Every structure is written in C-alpha cells, then in structure tokens.
Amino acid sequence: MPRPFSRLPEPLAFIRHFTPSWFAVTMGTGVLALVIAHLPWPLPGLPMLAEGLWFVAVGLFALFSLLFLLRLALFRETIWPMLLHPVQSMFLGAIPMGLAVLIKGLLLFGVPRWGEGIYALAHALWWLDAALALLGALFVPYLMFTRQHHALEKLTAVWLLPIVAPEVAASTAGALAPHLAAEAAQQLLVAGFVLWGLSLSLAFSLITLVLLRLALHKLPDTDFAATSWLPLGPLATGCLGLLSMGQAAPLAFAGTPLVSAAELARDLGLIGGLALWGAGLWWLVIATLFTRHYIRDNMPFNLGWWGFTFPLGVFALATFELQAVTGLSLFTFIGLLLAVQLAAVWTLVFSRTLAGVWHGELFQAPCLGGPGSPAVSVLSEQAG
C-alpha cells in the first residue's frame, strides 16, 4: 500500500484546500443512520449499527468544523475565492443540513443514552441550525446575483444546496416539537413552517430552471453526475417536513385559538406530503436513468458523489413517515428497497472517499488553482 497523502498538492493541503463539500459526508452518513433506525423490522444489531453510524457522523462533523475554522483562521486569503466560486460556495448549505441531521439523530439516540435533558440541547442547536440555514439561503444567492458568474448552460442542481437548508431544518422542527413545552413548540413550528415555505418555493423555481437547462443543453458533464439527484432532496424533505410538522401541530396548539388551523395543517400535511412524494418519485426514476447514462461514460469519482446519498436517504425517511401516517404496507416495501439502495450507494461512496483521503487527492479545492489556471482566471474576472 502506498504511503498516505502521497498526492497532496501542497503541505497542509488538508486545511488550506478544505472545502464545505466535505460536510456532505456528514449528511450522507447521518441520513443512513436515521434510515436504519426507522426500518419497520428491528433486526438484531440494526439499532447498534444505526447509533454507531450516527456517532461517526458526529465525529466527522466535529472534525470538518475544526478543519474549516482552521482554514478561515490560517488561510484567510482563500475565503474570497471560495465565496466567489460558482460551485464551492453552494456547499455552504451543507453545513446546516449536516447539523440538522445530527440534531434529529440526537433525539433518537441521545435521549435513551443520556436522558431527557438532551431535548434542551437539541432545542438550542435547532435555533443555531435555523440561523445558519437562513444565513446561507440569503447570503449565497446574494453573491450569485452580485459577484459570481453564471450561465444557463452551466447551471446544475447544486444551486439548490443553500436553498434547501431551511427546509431540512423545518423537517427537524417537526420531530423536536412534541418533546418541548407548548409555548416553545409553538414558536418552533411557526418558524419551521416559515422556513419550509421560504425554501420550497425557491426550490421549485430552481427545479424549473434545471428542467429547462436539461431540455436545452442536455446532461451536465460527468463531474456533475450526482447533481441529477439533488432535486429529489427538496421534494422529499418538503414531504417529510409537511408530514412531521402537521402531525406535531395539533398537540402544540391544543387549547389555543389556532387549534383548528393546526388540525387543518395535519390533514393538509398528508395531502401535500403525498403530492410531494409523487413528484419525488418521478425525479427518483429520472435520476436513476441519468445515472445509468453516466455510468456508461465512466464518471470520475469526486466528493460530489455524496450527492447520491442524502436525497435518496431523505426520500426513504419520507416514505417511512407516510407508512406511519397512512398504515399502507406499500410504503413499507418501497422504503425497504430505498434503504437497501442507500446502504449500497453509501458503502461504495464511503470506500472511494477513504481511498481518496489516504492518497490525499481529495484535498484539492477547485477554487484554489495555480497562477493562470481557469479557476483563478474566472475569479479574477469576477473580482474585477
């Protein structure tokens, strides 16, 4: 076996070239833990496996946060190129999404292990996550509109990443609200519905642009193969958020003038959730066909492959939630198929990531090229 980090572009590249796209590893690993925990048949060893994966995701999030902060502190000259980069800046949305997945896992795994005091910690972390998600959903599009360079033929679904983060936070609010006092739960759900509406409305606009781009300019390059799955994310998360917040609303608003609206939210949540799940099913099939096309073109591995995992995982969670609400066994069967597919994809992507980390080839930030490189030229034009 060759020695580690033999392909690092420079010393301390794992800090200077650390990008927010690494947080997609946390998203994919965390959502797999949640899917395993929600399997309808608790086979021996599965709860331990799910909890173990969640701990791995927590450790990775802590490590990635440290490396990202070190980059911001030690290599401040790399911040602006990252923010101006039309792709890497989008992955800032992966930070709050990764945190939201960990918060939901904290409710599942933390409470049995450390007690109900975890709910207070999860509540505080949720507001932090919501603030980060909202900041990214505002700041990154502002940079897109004012400083970055974009063109329709270069558009990919990666634009969705900063926009979807508030919606992921909203879906976590539905899981947390039943464990809080009434007033705190009401505030949480109101904020969650606002974030859900903000995110999903913009996501539909961007998905429309993605469809237009596909019709006019066909599939993106193989480097962006995984972006074909990203539109599934907001559709699935929208379904999950609408269902979970709708189910939590009647209890939170019981005895208040809004109890009727809360019951309506529960009923409309099911109808809207089914509609969004149907839209997600269409995108699941079309993304699968796209991937078969890309496989024939020998698509190269990169960190973007983690985009195969999170949308698939959250669609599986939405499917299991629909099964719990409707009681239909069809959703159990589909959810199980999705869970098996997710486990297979995660295993492949995680193993390729470990190999890339060992060699050091993944620590090459696209926004940091050498003099005269395309990345630097584009950034220079934008800065000018």
| Span 204-230, pLDDT tens digits | 999 999 999 999 999 999 999 999 999
Cβ distance 283 to 276 under 8 Å?
no
State residue 2's pLDDT score. Answer: 64
State residue 289's pLDDT score. Answer: 97
Q: Which residue has the higher pLDDT, 5 or 72?
A: 72
Residue range 104-130: mean pLDDT, rounded: 97
State residue 175's pLDDT score. Answer: 96
Residue range 64-87: mean pLDDT, rounded: 96
Instruction: Assess whether pLDDT exceeds 90 at residue 368.
Output: no
Residue range 330-335: mean pLDDT, rounded: 96
Residue 188 pLDDT level (bands cut at 50, 70, 90)? very high
Residue range 43-55: mean pLDDT, rounded: 94
Instruction: Assess whether pLDDT exceeds 70 at residue 375.
Output: no
Mean pLDDT value across the chain: 93
Residue range 79-93: mean pLDDT, rounded: 95
Instruction: Assess whether pLDDT exceeds 60 at residue 111.
Output: yes
Q: Kindly report the three-state secondary structure assignment for every residue of the chain.
A: CCCCCCCCCCCCHHHHCCCHHHHHHHHHHHHHHHHHHCCCCCCCCHHHHHHHHHHHHHHHHHHHHHHHHHHHHHCHHHHHHHHHCCCHHHHHHHHHHHHHHHHHHHHHHHHHHHCCCHHHHHHHHHHHHHHHHHHHHHHHHHHHHHCCCCCHHHCCHHHHHHHHHHHHHHHHHHHHHHHCCHHHHHHHHHHHHHHHHHHHHHHHHHHHHHHHHHHHHCCCCHHHHHHHHCCHHHHHHHHHHHHHHHHHHHHHCCCCCCHHHHHHHHHHHHHHHHHHHHHHHHHHHHHHHHHHHHHHCCCCCCHHHHHHCHHHHHHHHHHHHHHHHHCCHHHHHHHHHHHHHHHHHHHHHHHHHHHHHHHCCCCCCCCCCCCCCHHHHHHHHHHC
State residue 373's pLDDT score. Answer: 38
- The CATH fold assigned to 10-367 is Glycosyltransferase (1.50.10)
User: pTM of the predicted model, to two decimals?
Assistant: 0.94
Residue range 92-121: mean pLDDT, rounded: 97
Instruction: Assess whether pLDDT exceeds 70 at residue 117.
Output: yes
What percentage of the chain reaches a pLDDT higher than 70? 95
